[in-house]
Amino acid sequence: MQYYSLGKQSPNVDFKTAAITGQAPDKGLYFPTTIPQFTFEQIERFKTLDKASLAFEVMKPYVGGTIDDASLQQICAETIHFDFPLVPITETISSLELFHGPTLAFKDVGARFMSRCLGYFSKKAAAENGSAANTKPSTVLVATSGDTGGAVANGFLGVDGVQVIILYPKGKVSPIQELQLTTCGQNITALEVEGSFDDCQAIVKDAFMDAALNAAYNLTSANSINVARWLPQQLYYFFAWQQWVANNGDAIPMNIVVPSGNFGNICAGMMAKASGLPLGHFVAACNANNVVTRYLQTEKYEIHKAVATVSNAMDVGNPSNFVRILEIMQNNFEQLKNSLSSYSYDDIVTESTIERIYKANHYTLDPHGAVAFLAAEEFGKQFGKPAIILETAHPVKFPEVVERAIGETIAIPTSVQFLLDKEKVAIPMGASFGSFKNWMLSIAAEQ
C-alpha cells in the first residue's frame, strides 16, 4: 500500500513514512493509492468475527507490510480493548457510545493505534541503529479543540522515543478535557494558545513546512490529518454494523449521523463504506460552524472563522479532512450529495434537546451527541428512515452545559476521578507561528 498527497506535488510513500511525517511536503494530506476492497465472503465473516481479529483484517491492507503481523495484531488488540455498545434511545434512533475508552472519547481509538505504531517504528529504528541514543525522537505536534489532546496524551504517555506537544485554545475546552491534556507530565507538554482551534491547527501545519523546525526535530502530527490517526476510526463503524445486523438483519440499512468538526470521523466511515462495508446514508451534524452544510446546499465552499459553541470539539471553520471525502467521491458533487447530507443547529436548540431527551427517554446526550440527535430526527422526518448517532464523548466532559440542561449533577466516572486532585501544567503561547517557532527552537537549543 502506498499513499499519495492530495496536493499532487509530492512522491508516493509507504504507511510508515506517512505516519511518521504526518503531512506531505506539498502540504497535502496523504490518501491511499487504492481503497482496499473486502469480498462478500469477508463481509459475511465480519458479522461474527471478534473485535481484535476484525480490527487486524481491516487495518492490515493500510499498513502494507511496514509492521509485522504479530505486532499489528497486538497493536489492534490494545487499540480496541474496551466496549462500543449500540444503545437504543428511541424506536428509530440508537447511540453508538464511543466514550468507554480511557479518556472517555472516540479519539481513543485513533490515538492508541497511532501511538503504538510510532512506538513500533521508533523501537525498530533504534534497533537498526544499534542504540536509541543515536536516534532522534519523534516529536508529535497536535492541535486540539477538546478530546484529541486528552486521547493523544493518554495514548502516547510513556512511549519511548516520542515527545508530544499539544496546542489547545485557552478557555475553549472543558475542565475535564483540560485536565486530561495538562496533567500527564513525562513526555507530554501542553501549550495554552491565546486563540481558536483554527489558530492552533494553522500553527501545526506551518511547523511541518518550516525548514528550521524540521532540521531540529523529527516532526509528525497526531491530528486526523495523520493516516495512522484517521484510518483506524473505521473500526467502530464495523463494530456498530455487527450489532446492527445482529439486531435488524441485512434488509434495513444502517444510516449514520456523525457530529462533525474536522470531518476525520465521518470520512473514516465513508472509507469503510467505500471498501465494501454495506452502510447506509451518512449525515454530517454540524453546529454554527457549518461550512459543509452550506456547501451541500450551494456548491460553494466558503471558509469562515470558527465560532465558539457549546459543542466545542466541532468548532472548526476549515475542516481539513473534507478534501479526503471529496477524493472518496471522486470530486463529483452529485455523487457526494447522494452519499452525504448535512444539517446544522445553534446552541439554544442543542441545549433544549439535551433536556428533552433526558426527560423523555432517560438518556443523557453530550452537546455533540445532541447535535447528532437533532440531525437524526430531521433525517428521519425527511426520509422516513432509522439511523444511529455517534456519541463521541461522555457528558461529564461538558458539565456546565449538560448539568444546566438536565438540572442534575453528572456523576464523574471512576476512570477520571483521579484527575480532580491534579494541577494543570501548561505553557502560555501566543496565537502566532512566530511565537511557537521561537519557543521550539529555544527548547531544541537547550537539549
Q: Which of 16, 107, 172, 397 is catalytic?
A: 107
- The amino acid that residue 382 corresponds to is Q
The residue among 211, 252, 215, 260 whose CA lies nearest residue 233 is 260
Q: Which three cell numbers stand for residue 377?
A: 430526527
Interacting residues of 432 by C-beta distance below 8 A, sequence separation 6+: 203
Query: Active site includes 123?
Result: no
> What is the Cα–Cα distance from 29 to 334, expressed in whole angstroms?
23
Give the CA distances from residue 339 to residues 18, 284, 334, 374, 390, in Å, rounded to whole numbers and listed in that order: 28, 11, 9, 19, 18
Torsion of CA 436, 438, 443, 445, to 10 degrees: 160
User: Exposed, middle or buried by CB within 10 Å (0-12, 13-18, 19+), for 298?
Assistant: exposed
Q: Which three cell numbers stand for residue 192?
A: 495554552
Listing DSSP states for 195-221 in one string gives: S-HHHHHHHHHHHHT-HHHHHH-EEEE
Return the DSSP state at 163. Answer: E
Which residue carries 517504528 as its cell? Answer: 121
Q: Give the active site residues.
A: 107
